[in-house]
């Protein structure tokens, strides 16, 4: 079948704001302390009120939860903790009724070790599913076949199956055996998974660790990392030359893209987690035949929050994104500290303005709209396997329940129920109900910015030009035809003045009390960001 081309203008995600829901933590309808699909459905109107266009759910499929859903044991079912396929159908229908698109996580690099494919594969060397996974004989000394390390800090990326005498490859936990995408049968089975969900009305996918799913066919040793020192995480002992970003991976992404293009009403989104810096990352657009949106997160997490670093990243991304392709921006997700904890709470509103006005599709992580920070999770409450293996490295602090209101369970679960992870100690003040009453809150700022995006094509589709940076401030201009929007952000903890010739009307500031017109220069308060429109000077 030939490729169908969807006009760039019809690609709904270019205008959209995506919102990531971590299903365990958003809304618990059945009172077991863990979020679920009925809970998500009951809160959809929050997303409508806020003005987002699509929700992306982290994995909801059956899983032993060794990695909280990123270890799938049945690709075409729903984990009972979240509900069933009927609940998912109801959620999709309710979302579509509200013009919200539904995006699911898709985890192609590995399955759970409980997946029937792996159970069969492990049963004997001659099982028909054996080659769904990567098996190798021990090295001559009986040890692992090569020096690759598991990403979760726990030693080799190989575990020996005593019964069949071979090692299986796992880039992550031993409970997450890697699939072998060089096997046509894996390609057929896994693309059928995409078709299954698209037939159920799913509007797109976020592909987990997209840059890892094909490795060097010869499984050569990775070079040692000359910069590794004791105290650094174990997986950094080697440079991951042969085990990720291997050139053959792109053929698989072209296959995934062709698969989502079999369904074109509406066009389906293929987004991917591509944890690489801009030049390598941009290769995952392919020739507009791989990802629509390779999520650009890696470079932001390590970014010092300064005007020159942020401007430099935007310019690097703009240089790297091919002409027909489209960037995306993310500040937080379920794997890294939330952005207010990472860059400093005082920058939170300013950072939200930058996220929502840069060129590209923004992705909000649940709670970003409240400027939620990380929650302290005491050792006895740790849930993340990574946190158990490497104390302090766990991802629980950024996965705690969504605070909806000022009640003792924050509206996340019924009264008297203990949530699976503790609520933030500030949930009593930092919650949806409280912030929706407060015009100066991050929540109202995000809502106003999303409304501005809908009104202003320059913010949605316009070009971006980083106009000027000083030690203290950053400016960018978005332009679509005659419509121009100017964004200015202060990084200083004191008042600062930015020269800006001409007259500008203020559309929104992080300070709600600021209104009116500025002429030739802008006085910004500490960490203030403003969105403005150039105007003709008034004539008498």
Q: Is 410 left (phi over 0), alpha (psi -120 to 50) or beta?
A: left
Applying CB under 6 A, does 208 fall inside the site for ligand NOJ? yes
Site for ligand NOJ in 264-323 (CB under 6 A): 273
* Helix pair angle (249-260, 184-199), 10° resolution: 30
Token readout for 226 is 């000359």
Applying CB under 6 A, does 178 fall inside the site for ligand NOJ? no
The catalytically annotated residue of 15, 74, 77, 262 is 262
Size of the site for ligand NOJ (CB under 6 A): 9
**Do residues 340 and 332 make contact, with C-beta atoms less than 8 angstroms apart?**
no
Q: Residue 300's CB: how many other CB atoms inside 10 A?
A: 23
Q: How many residues does the chain have?
A: 540
Site for ligand NOJ in 44-73 (CB under 6 A): 67, 70
Least Å from the CB of residue 67 to ligand NOJ: 5
Least Å from the CB of residue 190 to ligand NOJ: 15
Which residue lies nearer to ligand NOJ by CB, 273 or 528?
Answer: 273
For the chain, how many helices (H) and strands (E)?
15, 17
235 part of the active site? no
Site for ligand NOJ in 480-519 (CB under 6 A): none
> What strands, in cross-sheet order, belong to the sheet with 158-161?
135-136, 166-169, 158-161
Q: Which residue has the tokens 């602090």?
A: 397
Q: How far apart are CA 186 and CA 116, in angstroms?
A: 13
Our CA dihedral for 231, 234, 235, 238, rounded to 10 degrees, sits at 80
Out of 172, 365, 420, 491, which residue is the one contacting ligand NOJ (CB under 6 A)?
Answer: 172
Coil/strand/helix, residue 317: helix
Applying CB under 6 A, does 167 fall inside the site for ligand NOJ? no
**Do residues 269 and 226 make contact, with C-beta atoms less than 8 angstroms apart?**
no
Which residue lies nearer to ligand NOJ by CB, 401 or 442?
Answer: 401
Burial grade of 499 (CB within 10 A; 0-12, 13-18, 19 or more):
exposed
The catalytically annotated residue of 67, 71, 87, 208 is 208
Least Å from the CB of residue 107 to ligand NOJ: 6
**Do residues 531 and 508 make contact, with C-beta atoms less than 8 angstroms apart?**
yes
Which residue lies nearer to ligand NOJ by CB, 102 or 274?
Answer: 274
Secondary structure of 462-516 in HEC code, one letter for each residue: CEEEEEEECCCEEEEEEEECCEEEEEEEECCCCCEEEEEEEEEEEEEECCCCCCC
Which residue lies nearer to ligand NOJ by CB, 19 or 347?
Answer: 19
Applying CB under 6 A, does 209 fall inside the site for ligand NOJ? yes
Q: How far apart are CA 151 and CA 233, in angstroms?
A: 9
Which residue lies nearer to ligand NOJ by CB, 280 or 335?
Answer: 335
Phi and psi at residue 499, to the nearest 5°? -70, 135
Least Å from the CB of residue 335 to ligand NOJ: 5
Print the binding letters for residues 110-149 with ligand NOJ: x by CB under 6 A, - otherwise: ----------------------------------------
Print the binding letters for residues 392-431 with ligand NOJ: x by CB under 6 A, - otherwise: ----------------------------------------
Least Å from the CB of residue 206 to ligand NOJ: 9
Applying CB under 6 A, does 390 fall inside the site for ligand NOJ? no
Which residue lies nearer to ligand NOJ by CB, 108 or 411?
Answer: 108
Least Å from the CB of residue 252 to ligand NOJ: 16
Least Å from the CB of residue 246 to ligand NOJ: 17
Coil/strand/helix, residue 460: helix
Least Å from the CB of residue 396 to ligand NOJ: 12
Applying CB under 6 A, does 464 fall inside the site for ligand NOJ? no
- Distance (Å) of CA 101 to CA 53, 185, 202, 390, 457: 6, 30, 8, 37, 20
Nearest residue relative to ligand NOJ (C-beta):
70
Applying CB under 6 A, does 13 fall inside the site for ligand NOJ? no
Applying CB under 6 A, does 383 fall inside the site for ligand NOJ? no
3-state helix, strand, coil in the chain (%, to 5): 30, 20, 50
74 part of the active site? no
Out of 335, 405, 483, 533, which residue is the one contacting ligand NOJ (CB under 6 A)?
Answer: 335
Least Å from the CB of residue 216 to ligand NOJ: 20
Which residue lies nearer to ligand NOJ by CB, 335 or 405?
Answer: 335
Active site residues per annotation: 208, 262
Residues that bind ligand NOJ (CB under 6 A): 67, 70, 107, 172, 208-209, 273, 334-335
């Amino acid at each position: 079948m030939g490729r169908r081309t969807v006009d760039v203008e019809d690609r709904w995600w270019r205008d959209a704001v995506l919102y990531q829901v971590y299903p365990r933590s958003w809304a618990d309808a059945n009172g077991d302390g863990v979020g679920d699909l009925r809970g998500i459905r009951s809160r959809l109107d929050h997303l409508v009120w806020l003005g987002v266009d699509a929700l992306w759910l982290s994995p909801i499929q059956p899983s032993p939860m060794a990695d909280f859903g990123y270890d799938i044991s049945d690709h075409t079912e729903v984990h009972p903790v979240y509900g069933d396929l009927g609940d998912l159908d109801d959620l999709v229908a309710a979302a579509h009724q509200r013009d919200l698109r539904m995006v699911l996580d898709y985890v192609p690099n590995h399955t759970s070790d409980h997946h029937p494919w792996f159970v069969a594969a492990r049963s004997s060397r001659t099982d028909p599913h054996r080659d769904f996974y990567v098996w190798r004989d021990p090295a001559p000394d009986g040890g692992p076949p090569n020096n690759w390390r598991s990403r979760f800090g726990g030693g080799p990326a190989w575990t020996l199956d005593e019964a069949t005498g071979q090692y299986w490859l796992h880039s992550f936990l031993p409970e997450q055996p890697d699939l072998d995408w060089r096997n046509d049968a894996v390609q057929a089975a896994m693309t059928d998974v995409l078709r299954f969900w698209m037939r159920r009305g799913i509007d797109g996918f976020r592909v987990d660790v997209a840059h890892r799913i094909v490795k060097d066919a010869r499984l050569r040793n990775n070079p040692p990392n000359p910069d590794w020192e004791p105290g650094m995480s174990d997986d950094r002992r080697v440079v991951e030359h042969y085990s990720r970003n291997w050139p053959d991976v792109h053929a698989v992404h072209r296959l995934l893209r062709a698969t989502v293009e079999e369904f074109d009403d509406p066009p389906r989104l293929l987004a991917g987690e591509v944890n690489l810096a801009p030049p390598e990352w941009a290769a995952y657009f392919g020739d507009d035949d791989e990802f629509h949106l390779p999520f650009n997160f890696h470079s932001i997490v390590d970014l010092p929050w300064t005007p020159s670093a942020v401007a430099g990243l935007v310019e690097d991304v703009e240089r790297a994104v091919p002409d027909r392709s489209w960037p995306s921006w993310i500040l937080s997700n379920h794997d890294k500290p939330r952005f207010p904890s990472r860059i400093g709470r005082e920058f939170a509103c300013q950072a939200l303005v930058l996220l929502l006005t840069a060129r590209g599709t923004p992705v909000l992580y649940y709670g970003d709209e409240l400027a939620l920070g990380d929650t302290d999770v005491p050792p006895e409450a740790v849930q993340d396997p990574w946190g158990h293996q490497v104390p302090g490295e766990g991802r629980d602090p950024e996965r705690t329940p969504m605070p909806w209101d000022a009640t003792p369970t924050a509206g996340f679960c019924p009264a008297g129920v203990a949530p699976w992870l503790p609520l933030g100690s500030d949930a009593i003040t930092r919650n949806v109900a409280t912030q929706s009453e407060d015009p100066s809150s991050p929540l109202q700022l995000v809502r106003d910015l999303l409304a501005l995006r809908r009104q202003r094509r320059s913010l949605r589709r316009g070009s971006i030009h980083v106009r000027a940076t000083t030690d203290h401030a950053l400016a960018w201009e978005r332009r679509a035809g005659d419509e121009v929007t100017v964004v200015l952000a202060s990084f200083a903890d004191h008042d600062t003045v930015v020269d800006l010739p001409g007259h500008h009307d203020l559309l929104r500031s992080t300070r709600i009390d600021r209104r009116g017109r500025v002429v030739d220069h802008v006085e910004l308060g500490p960490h203030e960001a403003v969105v403005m429109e150039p105007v003709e000077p008034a004539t008498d």
